[in-house]
Amino acid sequence: MSTMTSTDLSAVLRDAAQAALAVLPLSGPGAITDIVPVPQAPDLGDEGTAVSANFAGASNGRVTVVVGEETLNTLLMSPEGALDPVDALRPALETVVHALGQCVLEAGVEGDPAQALSQLDGGAVAVVGAAGETLALIGLTLTAQAEAPAPVATASAAPAASGGPRRTMDLLRDVQMDVTVELGRTSMTVQDLLALTPGSVVELDRAAGSPADVLVNGQLIARGEVVVVDEDYAIRITEIVTPEAGA
* DSSP secondary structure letters along 17-70: HHHHGGG---SS--EEEEEEEGGGPPP--SS-EEEEEEEEESSEEEEEEEE-HH
Q: Identify whether 141 is part of a domain.
A: yes
153 CB contacts (<8 Å, ≥6 apart)? Answer: 106, 107
Q: What pLDDT band is residue 96 in, cutting at 50, 70 and 90? A: very high
Q: What pLDDT band is residue 241 in, cutting at 50, 70 and 90? A: confident
108 lies in the same domain as 189 = no
80 lies in the same domain as 200 = no
**Cα dist from 138 to 34, 160, 183, 228, whole Å:** 11, 27, 30, 39
Q: What percent of the chain has pLDDT over 70?
A: 81
Number of domains within the chain: 2
Global confidence as pTM? 0.60
149 lies in the same domain as 230 = no
What pLDDT is stored for residue 166 in this prediction? 45
9 in Cβ contact with 100 (< 8 Å) = no
113 lies in the same domain as 195 = no
Three-state DSSP class for residue 205: coil
Candidates 102, 21, 28, 9; CA nearest to 65 is 21
Q: Identify whether 33 is part of a domain.
A: yes
User: Considering just the CA atoms, what is the radius of gyration of the chain in Å?
Assistant: 20
Q: What pLDDT band is residue 122 in, cutting at 50, 70 and 90? A: confident
Q: What is the residue range of 97's domain?
A: 6-171
Q: Identify whether 41 is part of a domain.
A: yes
Q: Identify whether 26 is part of a domain.
A: yes
What pLDDT is stored for residue 127 in this prediction? 93
What is the end-to-end Cα distance of the chain in Å, rounded?
33
Q: How many CA atoms lie within 13 A of 144 on its CB side?
A: 2
